Every structure is written in structure tokens, then in C-alpha cells.
């Protein structure tokens, strides 16, 4: 079964050709059938969702003007706080945590009259690129259940790809929306840092984290961004709309960008495997046919992005995750001998390997004697990388490159080699360091019928243009219409 797009469903519900209850029940029927195979969700809220759908249908019947997502079943990554259900971050340490507040994006989804059907799986605390680091369950790739969905938002991308919800929210710290979107053949957008409120998003790397949509189409992506974007007084790092206005991302979506200049970093595809390179090249050809011109750009510092990222992200993480100590909430070890053991044992029992590894790495990078050599150095390199983009965007409207060097890899393939896993983030990380937006859109399949994603990066707060550029390609192709058969 193939789901209609968010926009189509919303319009049908509004026109009362179908109902939210019908759509929501259909989704849960499909979840009952497929979810046991996919494992996309940590929690689902069937009764509550259907009740809400019914209430929305009633309001529509009553002639009420409803929100942009009226009646549409959506999912949120389980690192966004909700007063309903649990907020686990796929970690044993928060397995039973009930947030006393809703994340700002959750409030916005509810205000848009969306129906939140469940919370999706992720690498524990969003640390990973395969969702294999979930402390609670395994999510597989709907295109090949022996393979990973990517990560860390693998639950959200697998759910959308498998038609278990119409759209979802993910979070992206080093590629955690774009990479799994690419590996699952869906659209994933990481907005500009500060475009979407982080309030209620459980922090991994606070200066890098950003929430974004995971959808079937670019148009749905624009709709979702319309709902979640905007300034939030509860997040000091969400940008004032006087500085960067939020526009209606649907308004000009279908207007192609004229005289589009695409930046290509010299030899930057080198690291990607050959089938991925081919798909990217063909995508760029398609843009050429649409009148785009290619500009060679020089990104001398991109080779250092992974090094800088893993210092900045883990340093912030080591501090952000210090609060999980078994004192005020979350898992506490049984019969500790003293209060120090409440810390050391609760954390040892509650955190998975990758989380421990990154806490150790970040603690080391911040510890006395190493701060300058690792953390401070990384902040300087970060600045150089930002400079690369600033200079590049003087010459082009956007930059195109692969999202990931490979298509979906086998479950277990990389778990024993963390560095190898880190290196697979090579194409996505720079956007987080520079704070710029990036999108992944389906651009083909390899010979194993595994999806490939095209990544498009653009200047800070140019999401409108970015979505228009992505839309130009989507209109020319139907990769996004392909769905896995499960």
C-alpha cells in the first residue's frame, strides 16, 4: 500500500472525502501488520490517536477552520518531549521517563491539528548513523530488512518509507535526518540552526542539533516546515524572525530558481562508492537540462570536518548527558553503597556503549591539559569550515553532493569499528558545523534496489530556495514515488 501525501490527505479530510479516523485506523492497521518487521516505533498511541482524529473530524464537520495538518497521522522521534507516553531517547536510562512538558515542535504539531500516532526509534540519544545503537529495539530498513535504516532518525525515516505514518520529525546533529532519509528513500530536511526551536529536544550536541521534517515529498517537507519553523522565547538560540523571517515555504515552491548556480566541490565525491557517484552525477545532469550551471568550488577544510565534529559534539554531549545520574529522574542502580555509586553504577547500567564512548571522548577533550589541543582547536577549525561555505556561496546558490558514501549497509557491519562508522558521516557533518540547511531527496537506486539520496546545501535561512531547488528535481523524476514492498 502506498500512502497519499500529507497535502493530499489533508485536503481530502478537509473536503470530507475521507476522515481522519479512517486514515488513522488505516495507519494502525498497517502498523499491526508491518511494524513487527520494521521496528520503527518505541511507542504508539492508538486509542488516543483515534480519539483525537474523531474529535478533529467532528470539528471539521462543524465547519471549523482547522490547522495546516488537520487530521494527518504523524510521528515524532523519541528524543522530543511529550506529556503523553514516555520520552526515552532509546536509552535504558530514560526508559520510564515521563516528561512534564511538550517540546515546542510537539505543541506546534498539535496546534496544526496533526494526529501524533507514536514516537520513533533512534540511536541512543541520537548518537549513531544506523539506529543500531538504540538501547531499546532494532529498526530495519524497509527496502532490505537485513540492512540498517541509517540513523540516528532511522525510526522516523523507516516509518515514513514503510507507510506507517504520513510524515515524521527527526533531529539532525551530524546528518541524523539526511543520512537515514537517503538510506530509506524519503525526503529529509535539516533546517538552519536556529530556524526551529530546540526546546524539548533532548540535547546531544546543543550547538549542532536541529529538528526537521521527514516526508515522502518535498511539498510535504515544505508543509511540515511551515508548521514547525519560527522563533521561540524558550530557546535562546532560536532566531528572531526580525533577523530571519519565516515565510510560507509552499507559496513559491513550484517556481523554479532561475539561472540556478550549483556548486560542486572539486573531487569531493571521491570517497563515495561508484553507484552513488553515478546517481549524483545523473541528478546534476537533470539540473543542467533545467538550465542550471555548475560552479567549481573550493572547500579546503572539509577534510577536517569529521575531526572537528567529533570533538565539538562529544564535548557538548559529555556535559549534556551529565544530568542522567539517577538522582532526580531516570534509572537508578539497585542498592548503591554510597551516593557516588548512584552516579557511577546508574550511568554504567543506563547508557549503551556508543553513548559511553562519546561521553568518554568528550570528557577527555574538555579535561585539563587537553582542552586547547582538542576542543578549542576544533572550534577554530569549525570557523574555517564555516568560512569555506561563506566563500562558496558567493559563487553559487547551493552545493550538491552525496548524503552518504554508500547505500544502506548490513546490520552489524560497522558496529565494532566506531571510527569507520564516524567516517560515513563525511558528507553531512559540515552543514551542522556551519549551521546551514541541507536536504536529502531520493535520486535513484543501486543494483540492490537500495535508495540513494542527493544532498543539497544552501546558505543560512535560505530554506525557501533550497526547497524550490529540490522541488525542481522532484518534478522531473519519480524516485520519490517508489515504495518498498514489505
Partner 1 sequence: MSNVDYKVLVGLENHVQLYTRTKMFCGCELAFGAEPNSRVCPVCLGMPGSLPVMNKQAVEFSILAGLALNCQIPSFTKWDRKGYYYPDLPKNYQISQYDLPLALNGYIEIPEKDGTFKKIRIRRAHLEEDAGKNLHTAGNFSQVDLNRAGTPLLEIVTEPDMNTAAEVRALAEELQRIVRYLGVSEADMQKGHMRFEPNINLIITRAGQQFKTPIVEVKNLNSFRALENSIDYEIGRQLDRFLETGETMEMGNKSTRGWDDAKEATVLQREKEEAHDYRYFPDPDLVPVRVNEQWLNEIKSRLCELPSKKRLRYIKEYGLSDYDAGVLTSDRSVADFFEDAVKAGGEPKRVCNLLTQAGLKLANARGCNIAELGPKPADIAKLAQMTQKGEISATAANTILEEMVKTGKTPQELAEQLNLIQKSDAGELETIVDEVLKNNQQAVADFKEGGKKSGKAKGFLLGQVMQKTKGTANPKIASEILDKKLSQ
Partner 2 sequence: MDKKIDKSQVKKVAKLARLELSDAEIEEFAGQLNAIIDYVERMNKLNTEGVEPMAHCLPVSNVFRDDIIKESLGTEKTLANAPQSDGPFFKVPKILEEE
Residues numbered 235-264 forming contacts with partner 1, rule: CB under 8 A: 235-237
Cβ neighbours for 70, distance < 8 A, ≥ 6 positions apart: 10, 13, 14, 20, 56, 60, 112, 113, 114
- Report yes or no: 206 and 320 within 8 Å, Cβ to Cβ: yes
Decide if 5 is catalytic.
no
Interaction partner, residue 74 (partner 1, partner 2, none; CB < 5-8 Å by kind): none
Residues 169-198 that bind partner 2 (CB under 8 A): 193-194
* Residue 310 near which of partner 2, partner 1, none (CB within 5-8 Å, type-dependent): partner 2
If you count them, how many residues does the chain have?
A: 486
Tell me the C-alpha to C-alpha distance, in Å, between residue 408 and each of 100, 140, 184, 281: 37, 10, 8, 19
Q: Looking at 7, 77, 190, 414, which residue is catalytic?
A: 77
Q: Judged by CB under 8 A, does residue 310 bind partner 2? A: yes
Place of cell 515542535: 105
The active-site residue out of 5, 129, 152, 346 is 152
- Asked if residue 145 binds partner 2 (CB under 8 A), the reply is no
Q: Does 399 bind partner 2 (CB under 8 A)?
A: no
Cα dist from 469 to 33, 221, 481, whole Å: 37, 13, 18
Q: For 269-304, where are the alpha helices, taking DSSP H only?
A: 274-289
Nearer to partner 1, 50 or 90 (CB): 90
202 binds, among partner 1, partner 2, none (CB under 5 to 8 A by kind): partner 1
Please give the Cα distance from 136 to 86 (Å, whole number): 13
**Which residues, 334 to 393, sit near partner 2 by CB under 8 A?**
336-345, 347-348, 351, 353, 356-357, 359-361, 363-364, 367, 373-374, 376-384, 386
Burial degree of 89 (CB within 10 A; 0-12, 13-18, 19+): buried
Given candidates 240, 255, 296, 298, which one binds partner 2 under the rule CB under 8 A? 240
| Residue 152 annotated as catalytic | yes
* Min dist. Cβ of residue 236 to partner 2 (A): 4
8 is a site residue for partner 1 (CB under 8 A) = no
- Contacts with partner 1 in 57-86 (CB under 8 A)? 79-81
Q: How far apart are the first and last CA of the chain?
A: 9
Q: One symbol per residue from 176 to 205: x for binding partner 1 (CB under 8 A), - otherwise; what is it?
A: ----------------------xxxxxx-x
Binding of residue 375 to partner 1 (CB under 8 A): yes
C-alpha cell belonging to residue 205: 550536541
x/- contact string, 286-325, with partner 1 (CB under 8 A)? -----------------------------xx-xx--xx-x
Where does this chain touch partner 1 (CB under 8 A) — which range of 25-33, 228-236, 254-262, 280-288? 228-236
334 binds partner 1 (CB under 8 A): no
Find which of partner 2, partner 1, none residue 204 binds, CB within 5 to 8 Å per kind. none
List the one residue out of 193, 228, 220, 232 whose CA is nearest residue 77. 228
- CA distance linking residue 79 with residue 201, whole number of Å: 6
Cβ 147 vs Cβ 408: under 8 Å:
yes
Three-state secondary-structure class, residue 201: strand
**Residue 308 or 452 having the CB closest to partner 1:** 308
197 given a catalytic annotation? no
Q: How far apart are CA 445 and CA 185, in angstroms?
A: 9
Residues recognised as catalytic: 77, 152, 176
Amino acid at each position: 500500500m502506498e500512502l497519499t501525501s500529507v497535502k493530499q490527505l489533508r485536503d481530502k479530510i478537509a473536503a470530507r472525502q475521507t476522515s481522519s479516523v479512517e486514515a488513522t485506523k488505516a495507519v494502525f492497521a498497517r502498523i499491526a501488520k508491518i511494524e513487527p518487521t520494521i521496528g520503527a516505533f518505541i511507542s504508539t498511541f492508538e486509542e488516543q490517536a483515534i480519539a483525537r482524529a474523531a474529535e478533529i473530524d467532528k470539528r471539521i464537520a462543524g465547519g471549523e477552520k482547522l490547522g495546516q495538518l488537520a487530521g494527518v497521522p504523524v510521528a515524532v522521534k523519541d528524543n522530543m518531549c511529550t506529556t503523553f507516553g514516555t520520552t526515552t531517547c532509546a536509552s535504558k536510562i530514560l526508559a520510564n521517563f515521563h516528561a512534564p512538558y511538550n517540546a515546542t515542535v510537539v505543541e506546534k504539531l498539535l496546534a496544526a491539528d496533526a494526529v501524533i500516532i507514536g514516537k520513533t526509534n533512534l540511536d541512543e540519544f541520537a548518537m549513531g548513523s544506523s539506529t543500531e545503537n538504540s538501547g531499546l529495539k532494532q529498526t530495519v530498513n524497509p527496502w532490505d530488512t537485513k540492512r540498517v535504516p541509517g540513523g540516528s532518525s532511522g525510526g522516523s525515516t523507516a516509518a515514513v518509507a514503510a507507510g506507517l505514518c504520513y510524515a515524521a520529525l527527526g533531529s539532525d546533529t551530524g546528518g541524523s535526518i539526511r543520512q537515514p532519509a537517503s538510506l530509506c528513500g524519503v525526503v529529509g530536511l535539516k533546517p538552519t540552526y536556529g530556524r526551529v526551536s530546540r526546546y524539548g529536544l533532548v540535547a546531544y550536541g546543543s550547538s549542532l542539533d536541529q529538528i526537521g521534517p521527514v516526508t515522502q515529498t518535498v511539498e510535504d517537507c515544505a508543509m511540515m516546515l511551515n508548521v514547525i519553523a519560527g522563533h521561540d522565547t524558550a530557546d535562546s538560540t532560536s532566531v528572531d524572525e526580525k533577523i530571519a523571517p519565516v515565510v510560507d515555504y509552499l507559496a513559491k515552491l513550484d517556481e523554479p530558481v532561475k539561472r540556478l548556480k550549483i556548486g560542486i566541490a572539486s573531487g569531493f565525491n571521491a570517497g563515495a562508492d561508484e553507484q552513488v557517484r553515478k546517481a549524483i552525477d545523473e541528478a546534476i545532469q537533470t539540473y543542467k537540462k533545467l538550465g542550471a550551471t555548475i560552479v567549481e568550488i573550493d572547500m579546503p577544510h572539509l577534510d577536517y570536518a569529521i575531526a572537528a565534529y567529533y570533538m565539538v559534539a562529544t564535548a557538548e554531549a559529555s556535559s549534556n548527558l551529565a544530568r542522567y545520574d539517577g538522582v532526580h529522574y531516570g534509572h537508578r542502580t539497585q542498592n548503591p553503597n554510597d551516593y557516588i555509586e548512584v552516579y557511577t553504577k546508574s550511568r554504567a547500567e543506563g547508557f549503551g556503549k556508543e553513548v559511553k564512548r562519546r561521553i568518554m571522548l568528550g570528557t577527555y577533550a574538555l579535561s585539563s591539559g587537553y582542552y586547547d589541543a582538542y576542543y578549542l582547536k576544533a572550534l577554530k577549525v569549525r570557523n574555517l569550515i564555516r568560512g569555506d561555505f561563506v566563500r562558496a556561496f558567493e559563487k553559487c546558490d547551493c552545493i550538491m553532493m552525496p548524503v552518504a558514501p554508500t547505500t544502506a549497509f548490513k546490520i552489524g557491519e560497522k558496529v565494532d569499528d566506531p571510527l569507520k562508522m564516524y567516517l560515513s558521516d563525511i558528507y553531512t557533518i559540515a552543514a551542522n558545523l556551519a549551521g546551514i540547511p541541507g536536504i536529502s531527496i531520493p535520486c535513484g537506486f543501486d543494483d540492490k534496489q537500495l535508495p540513494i539520496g542527493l544532498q543539497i546545501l544552501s546558505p543560512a535561512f535560505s530554506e525557501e530556495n533550497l526547497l524550490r531547488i529540490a522541488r525542481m528535481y522532484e518534478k522531473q523524476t519519480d524516485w520519490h514515488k517508489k515504495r518498498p514492498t514489505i
